[in-house]
C-alpha cells in the first residue's frame, strides 16, 4: 500500500511540474537513442525514489519499534517496582495477624498453667493483646490502601478489597468476643499479677473460651489465606510476563473453601455482595 502511494505521488509530481507534458509533445521528434536514455533515466529516478521511500519506511518502523520496546521495558520495570512495594505490605499483614493469633493462644496456656503452677508468670496481658490487635488492624488497612492505589493494574483486584474487609470485620468481631470474655481473669498489664484463681474459668467457662478462640483461629486462617491468594495474583499479574510463567492458586480446604482468583471475579462478586447483604440485614435486625 505504501509503495503504490509513493509511485503515484512521483507520477503526479512529474505531471504537475510540466515535464511529462513537454516530453510527450516532443517525443516523436526525438531520436531513438535519446528516447532510450530518457526512459532509462526515468526508471532510474523512480527506482531511486522508491529505494529512498523504502529506507524511510524502514527507519520509521525501526523508530516505532524502538519506542514500543522502550515503553514495554518501562512497563516491566514499573510492574517489578509495584510488586516490590506490595509484597512487604502483604508479608507484614501476615506476620501481624499470626502474632495476634499467638497472643490469643497464650490466654489458654496461661489459664491451664496457673492452675498447675500458682507462681506461673502469665505469657500475655490485656495490654499486649490490645497492642497487637492495633498492629494487625493497621497492617490490614495498609493492604487495602495499596490495592486501591494500584487498581489500574487490573480493576478486578478490587475483589480483594471486598474480601479482606469482610474477613477483617469477622476477625475483629471474633477477637472482641475473646478479649471481652478474657478480661475477667487475664492479667491487665505487666505490673499486675493474674487475678485470683477463683476467677480463672473452669468447666463450661473454659469450654466457652476454647470455642471462642477456635472460631477466632478459623477467621485468622481465612484472612491469611486471602492474603496468600493476593500474593499469587499479584505475582501472576506483575511478574508472570517477566518470568514467562504463572503460579497455580491455593488449594481450597475445609476451613477455607473459598479461593480468590481474578478469573472467578463474577462469582466472587456475587458471593461477597450476598454476604454483605446478609450482614447488613443481621445488623438491622
% residues pLDDT > 70 (the chain): 69
Cell of 222: 481465612
Task: State the pLDDT at residue 55.
Answer: 67
Number of Cβ within 10 Å of residue 22's Cβ equals: 10
As a whole number of angstroms, the longest Cα–Cα distance in the chain is 131
Task: State the pLDDT at residue 220.
Answer: 97
pLDDT digits (tens, 9 = 90+) for 22-56: 555 665 665 667 656 666 766 677 777 777 776 66
pLDDT digits (tens, 9 = 90+) for 159-215: 999 999 999 999 999 999 998 888 777 766 655 544 444 466 677 888 898 999 999
DSSP state string for 15-81: HHTTHHHHHHHHGGGS-HHHHHHHHHHHHHHHHHHHHHHHHHHHHHHHHHHHHHHHHHHHHHHHHHH
Confidence category of residue 74, pLDDT binned at 50, 70, 90? confident
% residues pLDDT > 90 (the chain): 44
C-beta separation of 154 from 118 below 8 A: no
For domain 73-284, say whether CATH 1.10.3470 is its number.
Answer: no
Question: What is the overall mean pLDDT for the chain?
Answer: 80
Confidence category of residue 4, pLDDT binned at 50, 70, 90? very low
Q: What is the pTM of this model?
A: 0.73
Give the residue extent of every domain in the chain: 2-67, 73-284
Cell of 234: 499479584
Task: State the pLDDT at residue 196.
Answer: 40
Is the pLDDT assigned to residue 57 strictly greater than 80? Answer: no
Pick the residue with more confidence: 130 or 198?
130
Amino acid at each position: 500500500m505504501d509503495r503504490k502511494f509513493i509511485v503515484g505521488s512521483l507520477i503526479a509530481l512529474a505531471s504537475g511540474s510540466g515535464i511529462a507534458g513537454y516530453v510527450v509533445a516532443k517525443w516523436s521528434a526525438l531520436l531513438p537513442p535519446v528516447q532510450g536514455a530518457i526512459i532509462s533515466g526515468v526508471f532510474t529516478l523512480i527506482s531511486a525514489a522508491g529505494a529512498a521511500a523504502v529506507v524511510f519506511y524502514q527507519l520509521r518502523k525501526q523508530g516505532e519499534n524502538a519506542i514500543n520496546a522502550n515503553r514495554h521495558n518501562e512497563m516491566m520495570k514499573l510492574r517489578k517496582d509495584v510488586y516490590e512495594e506490595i509484597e512487604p505490605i502483604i508479608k507484614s499483614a501476615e506476620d501481624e495477624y499470626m502474632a495476634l493469633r499467638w497472643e490469643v493462644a497464650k490466654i489458654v496456656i496461661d489459664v491451664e498453667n496457673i492452675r498447675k503452677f500458682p507462681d506461673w508468670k502469665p505469657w500475655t496481658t490485656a495490654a499486649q493483646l490490645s497492642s497487637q490487635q492495633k498492629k494487625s488492624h493497621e497492617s490490614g488497612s495498609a493492604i487495602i490502601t495499596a490495592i486501591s492505589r494500584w487498581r489500574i493494574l487490573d480493576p478486578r483486584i478490587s475483589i480483594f478489597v471486598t474480601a479482606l474487609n469482610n474477613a477483617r470485620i469477622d476477625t475483629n468481631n471474633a477477637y472482641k468476643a475473646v478479649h471481652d470474655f478474657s478480661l475477667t481473669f487475664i492479667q491487665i498489664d505487666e505490673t499486675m499479677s493474674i487475678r485470683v484463681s477463683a476467677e480463672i474459668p473452669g468447666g463450661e467457662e473454659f469450654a466457652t473460651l476454647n470455642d471462642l478462640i477456635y472460631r477466632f483461629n478459623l477467621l485468622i486462617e481465612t484472612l491469611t489465606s486471602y492474603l496468600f491468594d493476593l500474593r499469587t495474583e499479584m505475582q501472576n499479574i506483575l511478574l508472570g510476563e517477566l518470568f514467562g510463567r504463572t503460579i497455580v492458586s491455593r488449594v481450597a480446604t475445609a476451613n477455607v473453601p473459598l479461593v480468590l482468583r481474578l478469573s472467578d471475579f463474577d462469582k466472587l462478586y456475587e458471593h461477597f455482595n450476598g454476604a454483605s447483604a446478609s450482614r447488613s440485614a443481621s445488623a438491622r435486625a
